[in-house]
Amino acid sequence: MSLETVDFVRLALAPEDRVLDLGCGEGRHAITAYLNQAVRVVGLDLSHADLLTARGRYAEFQDPNDPSRQVDFLRASGLRLPFGDASFDKVICAEVLEHIPDFESVLAEIHRVLKPGGTLVVSVPRFGPEWLCWQLSAAYHQVQGGHVRIFKQKDLQRAVEAATNGGRARPGLTFLSKHWAHGLHSPYWWLRCLFWGSGDAFWPVRAYHRFLVWDLMQKPRLTRILEHLLNPLIGKSVVMYFRRATS
């Protein structure tokens, strides 16, 4: 069981799709894609430790008797993707761009490897909840590998739609839809930032974390309804879907 930011109904995976999970971390979306449809997934990340964890998790679900679906994990940079043009039907870039100073170059590379007619889903921390975290704790975003910017939704949408590769004319990316995710998680991070020096030793932070783990594992109907109501108000992430034009 893992925390999913992407709505796989909206992503609409199809059999034989090639899927890139850019900045896959410990593999949550790559493995979910594998379980959802007969697709071939590449999970790409810079963290060797995270990739080792992802491979271990994938081994728990892998069916060696089903050659129609597969996940490969690869260590590489999103600034220079080791794939040819128009290599993927779907690209997932979840909670990645806020860590990268030159995020426009990553968007250009995504645009390059996405097939015409293909779908990109990108998520970043939502401006309001993220801004409050920055106000409550400077250390929250100053840790190694931390967040280097707060995105406004319209600015991110314009940046994705403007993505090109090396100035070459290519079919553009068109915004399709958006939603918010993880409304139950924003209060945890506000508490965590407010008492950053204490970490999980502070009992309200520790108790809220236990609640989130319980919710992830059990998914009771009451908290699903509560999160659905909270997402438009304080959802921790904004999730946006785009399609690359065919001409």
Give the three-state DSSP class for 99.
helix
pTM, full prediction = 0.94
For residues 162 and 11, give the distance between their C-alpha atoms in angstroms, rounded to a whole number: 21
168 DSSP 8-state letter: B
For residues 114 and 117, give the distance between their C-alpha atoms in angstroms, rounded to a whole number: 8
Domain count within the chain? 1
Asked, for residue 199, whether it belongs to a domain, the answer is no
* Per-residue tens of pLDDT for the chain, all 247 residues: 578 999 999 999 999 999 999 999 999 999 999 999 999 999 999 999 999 999 999 999 999 999 999 999 999 999 999 999 999 999 999 999 999 999 999 999 999 999 999 999 999 999 999 999 999 999 999 888 899 999 999 999 999 999 876 555 566 899 999 999 999 999 999 999 999 988 888 899 999 999 999 999 999 999 999 999 999 999 999 999 999 998 7
Asked, for residue 202, whether it belongs to a domain, the answer is no
The answer to whether 8 and 31 have CB atoms below 8 angstroms apart is: no
Helices (H), the chain: 8-11, 28-36, 48-61, 103-113, 127-136, 139-142, 153-161, 185-194, 203-218, 221-234
- For residue 100 the two structure tokens come to 């990268």
pLDDT number for residue 187: 97
Burial of 4 (0-12, 13-18, 19+ CB in 10 A): middle
For residues 91 and 49, give the distance between their C-alpha atoms in angstroms, rounded to a whole number: 22
> Domain of 121?
8-126+144-182+237-244
Which CATH number goes with the domain that contains 66?
A: 3.40.50.150
Give the three-state DSSP class for 97.
helix
Asked, for residue 119, whether it belongs to a domain, the answer is yes
Asked, for residue 227, whether it belongs to a domain, the answer is no
Asked, for residue 178, whether it belongs to a domain, the answer is yes
For residues 95 and 145, give the distance between their C-alpha atoms in angstroms, rounded to a whole number: 12
For residues 25 and 54, give the distance between their C-alpha atoms in angstroms, rounded to a whole number: 7
Asked, for residue 221, whether it belongs to a domain, the answer is no
Asked, for residue 86, whether it belongs to a domain, the answer is yes
- For residue 99 the two structure tokens come to 């860590």
Asked, for residue 230, whether it belongs to a domain, the answer is no
